[in-house]
Amino acid sequence: MKEALFYEQIPGEKEQGGSDVRCHLCAHACLIHAGQRGICAVRENQGGTLYTLVYGKVISNNIDPIEKKPIFHMLPGSTSLSIATVGCNFRCKHCQNYEISQYPRERRFEVPGTEMTPLDVVALAERYGCESISYTYTEPTIFFEFAYDCARLAHEKGKKNVFVSNGYTGPGATKMIAPYLTANNIDLKGSDTFYRDICGARLSPVLDTIRLMKELGVWVEVTTLIIPGLNDSEKDLSDIASFLVSVDPSIPWHVSGFHPTYKLMDRPSTSLESLRKAVEIGYAVGLRYVYVGNVSGEDGENTYCPSCRARLIHRVGYRIGENRLRKGRCPECSWVIQGIW
């Protein structure tokens, strides 16, 4: 175990066995009694000291195309070593990785995972020629201390770092990781009602994180999983797209198709019509890059020049068929395509 960052003891608040603590790692700001764990279930108050239980306990590691994150505007065609621990600070009813994100919470479980050090992680990325390390599958904020140590070392070695996040990271943690974080794909799931009913969270901290990440110079892409009847109305989609335009119209917006899973087995899969509607709304509101995910045979994976509409990057699944960018510019009209190329 390792002492956690971003917490404080609460003066005068003592339960049997030690002081209460307030965790400030994420927007939940959990008050954790002695012997208890926070909402994420992997940070525990032991006698007034908060510990992270997942430091170095990697439950999953794979080599993925960077496009799978999805990150489309950073080193297209490259591979990323992707790692995760168990745990999450959300309770999404549609989580596709619920076996590890929602690892049994009804008991004080022993934390599973393969012991790895930051040096092990970076060496693995180097061994397999990965240009980046992605902290993904579960919410990277909840294994922040490990991700931070890995990211610093990776940065020293010339590797890029990527968060795939729900955006609930606290401002302190965001500012701490930003100098070492190259890109962050943040889920923007829907309205505040959606967050409360489906995820056990709130909308406003996610919006704050997107703004702050951009201000700190992190490349941000955003994903919305469109779930029929829950976040697919014209207002829902227009509100999301309008917010992104207000931050930066060059933020790539990935609209992805939902398939029934976990606790949302009663919902149908997202129709192509709904995804196409989202794309139309995104462009109509003023976004420059809108992509379609989780469906095959669509044209929505390709990158087009916002100025002349020339096809610049042709994608098939997670593979690059053609990349016509020239030093980050359109070869037809010289428009600068924002990203990390």
- Is the backbone of residue 230 left (phi > 0), alpha (psi -120 to 50) or beta? alpha
In angstroms, the CA 86 to CA 114 distance is 11
CATH superfamily, domain at 57-323: Aldolase class I (3.20.20.70)
Note whether 291 and 252 are within 8 A (CB): yes
With CA atoms as reference, report the closest residue to 337 among 310, 300, 318, 315: 310
**Res 328: pLDDT:** 97
Note whether 135 and 161 are within 8 A (CB): yes
Paired residues of 134 in beta bridges? 82, 162
**Res 185: pLDDT:** 98
In angstroms, the CA 197 to CA 18 distance is 34
Question: What's 138's DSSP letter?
Answer: S
**Res 142: pLDDT:** 98
**Res 298: pLDDT:** 74
C-alpha distances in Å from residue 212, one per residue of 14, 128, 162, 171, 330: 35, 33, 16, 8, 29
**Res 124: pLDDT:** 98
- Walk across the sheet containing 219-226 and list its strands: 60-65, 79-84, 132-135, 160-165, 183-187, 219-226, 253-257, 290-293
With CA atoms as reference, report the closest residue to 144 among 119, 124, 172: 172
Note whether 67 and 75 are within 8 A (CB): no
**Res 281: pLDDT:** 98
**Res 16: pLDDT:** 67
In angstroms, the CA 281 to CA 78 distance is 30
Helical packing angle, 272-285 and 234-247, nearest 10°: 40
**Res 221: pLDDT:** 98
In angstroms, the CA 249 to CA 222 distance is 12
Taking residue 334's Cβ as centre, other Cβ atoms within 10 Å add up to 12
**Res 48: pLDDT:** 94
In angstroms, the CA 63 to CA 137 distance is 12
Contacts of 238 (CB under 8 A, 6+ apart): 281, 285
In angstroms, the CA 105 to CA 64 distance is 29
pLDDT in tens, the chain (341 residues): 899 999 999 977 666 678 999 999 999 999 999 999 999 999 999 999 999 999 999 999 999 999 999 999 999 999 999 999 999 999 999 999 999 999 877 657 789 999 999 999 999 999 999 999 999 999 999 999 999 999 999 999 999 999 999 999 999 999 999 999 999 999 999 999 999 999 999 999 999 999 999 999 999 999 999 999 999 999 999 999 999 999 999 999 999 999 999 999 999 999 999 999 999 999 999 999 999 998 876 789 999 999 999 999 999 988 999 999 999 999 999 999 999 99
Q: How far is CA 129 from the centre of its chain?
A: 23
With CA atoms as reference, report the closest residue to 143 among 179, 106, 173: 173
Paired residues of 82 in beta bridges? 62, 134
Note whether 327 and 341 are within 8 A (CB): yes
Paired residues of 219 in beta bridges? 183
- Domain boundaries in the chain? 2-52, 57-323
**Res 15: pLDDT:** 61
